[in-house]
Structure 1
Amino acid sequence: MGCGRVGSTLALSLESQGHDVAVIDQNSTAFRRLGSTFEGKRVTGVGFDRDTLREAGVEDAYAFAAVSNGDNSNILAARVARETFGVEHVVARIYDPGRAEVYQRLGIPTVATVRWTADQMLRRLLPQGSVPEHTDPSGQILIADVPVHAGWVGRRITELESVTGARVAYLTRLGEGLLPAADTVYQDGDIVHLVTTTGTLTSVEQTLDQPPPAH
């Protein structure tokens, strides 16, 4: 949903990879961005309207992206696609960083702009620069999203906890929150949310920036 710069680029990229794509936009002139070679559907209408979504083929869709210029429209369309039509892979573009955080915590994957995106990028670019997601009133205990070296892929979360002395509060896997069990292993792409003390965060970051010790 949305045929602006992001939506048209996404649609053309997906089609170039061999996927069948339908694009929804309220303004039919927006489809000009797709060019004459685009072979997918062009559907004029409101992206959260059920009939419009059905016309676009949402009932058979593998994924749905809401990338219009309105937060409310995007999140509403994403929720309709997921909750009404059962589309498993849904993402929404959100401009308001406060809303982005809320919807991320609700398990609705979002891509936001500017400040929120910059913060998310920094968390992953700087191994010793995690931004605490939550700090207790005393300021001693915090939850932080800590980057993990690729060498940990396939290792149990319990091993990660043992080596760092921290506790894994939860994982974000494919946009969904996951409470790790004793046999849960770290997978490529997982975001690890650790509980640790303020004074040990740096050492935890440094440990996880390295491959795990050999078995």
Structure 2
Amino acid sequence: MYVVVVGCGRVGSQLATLLASEGHDVAVVDESTDSFKRLGATFNGLVVQGMGYDEDILRQAGIEQADALAAVANYDNANLVTADVATRIFNVPKVVVRLDNPEHEKSYQKIGVDYVCGTKMVATAILNHLHKGTFRHHVALPSADIAVVEFMVGELVEGKTVKEMEIPATLRIASIVRNDTYIIPDGSTPLHKGDLVVAAARKGAFSQIKSFLTTQEAKK
């Protein structure tokens, strides 16, 4: 796979070296030649100095034969323009964009490129650590207030069925892991303390989910 990485900061240089170590052909674009020092002496890909959204610079980087482009510069607007050029002018099959400010998500969605919001990823990772493994977000859908979550059932819902726990249009249980056995439940499936549940939930259901985690001891 031939990949053009636009931006050679901490993220871009790490991505480029990982791709190269996997045997992919990599071209890196950055406006500062000093940034290329982050790639290290063993990097054997192409480096091109210039603005990542400049069509001539992208051509020098081999954009016309690229299988993918990653726009990972430090500025959301620059990444957005780069992605637009790669998609609209060069028809790059796969474009992935770095996003720092979640408020810019709608602009990214309009041009239909995949993006990774680092701010949300870090916040979610920290939240998962704070919950100490009892409640975790797997993925949040960017165009809706829906997330895939994982949680462990507490004793207060012991014996209640999936149907009793689900909330129409708000919480839907997709799978249960019990004693290392994976279960696709139906409405009559009972929940047991210690069950690991994966569910689709709207944000309004998070407080309800946390009540599933509560133990009798905590209620006293």
TM more than 0.5: yes
| 1:10-44 Cα distance to aligned partner (Å, 9 max, x none) | 11110000000000011122212222221111111
Partners of 2:202 and 2:35 lie apart in 1 by 46
Larger Rg: 2
1:185 aligned residue:
none
Identity %: 36
Tell me whether 1:53 sits opposite 2:58 in the alignment: yes
Three-state SS of the structure 1 residue aligned to 2:73 is: coil
2:74 aligned residue:
69
CA contact (8 A) 1:123 1:145 kept: no
Tell me whether 1:6 sits opposite 2:8 in the alignment: no
Specify whether residues 122 and 103 from structure 1 end up closer, same or farther in structure 2 by C-alpha distance, changes over 3 A only. Answer: farther
Shift of 1:120: 4.3
Q: Residue 102 of structure 2 aligns to which amino acid in structure 1?
A: P
Three-state SS of the structure 2 residue aligned to 1:65 is: strand
Q: Residue 96 of structure 2 aligns to which amino acid in structure 1?
A: V
Higher strand share: 2
Tell me whether 1:118 sits opposite 2:122 in the alignment: yes
Taking only aligned residues, the RMSD between alpha carbons, in angstroms, comes to: 4.0
1:144 aligned residue:
146
CA contact (8 A) 2:147 2:202 kept: no
Tell me whether 1:30 sits opposite 2:43 in the alignment: no
CA contact (8 A) 2:26 2:46 kept: yes
| 1:194-214 Cα distance to aligned partner (Å, 9 max, x none) | 569x469846xx7xxxxxxxx
Specify whether residues 31 and 123 from structure 1 end up closer, same or farther in structure 2 by C-alpha distance, changes over 3 A only. Answer: same
Partners of 1:55 and 1:80 lie apart in 2 by 14
Three-state SS of the structure 1 residue aligned to 2:25 is: coil
Partners of 2:57 and 2:48 lie apart in 1 by 7
Shift of 1:58: 1.0
Partners of 1:199 and 1:109 lie apart in 2 by 27
> TM-score scaled to structure 1, two decimals?
0.59
CA contact (8 A) 1:24 1:56 kept: yes
1:210 aligned residue:
none
Q: Residue 94 of structure 1 aligns to which amino acid in structure 2?
A: L
Q: Which consecutive residues of structure 1, in runs of 5 or more, have no partner in the other structure?
A: 135-141, 150-160, 169-191, 207-215
Q: Which consecutive residues of structure 2, in runs of 5 or more, have no partner in the other structure?
A: 1-5, 152-162, 171-198, 213-220
Of 15, 21, 27, the match for 1:16:
21
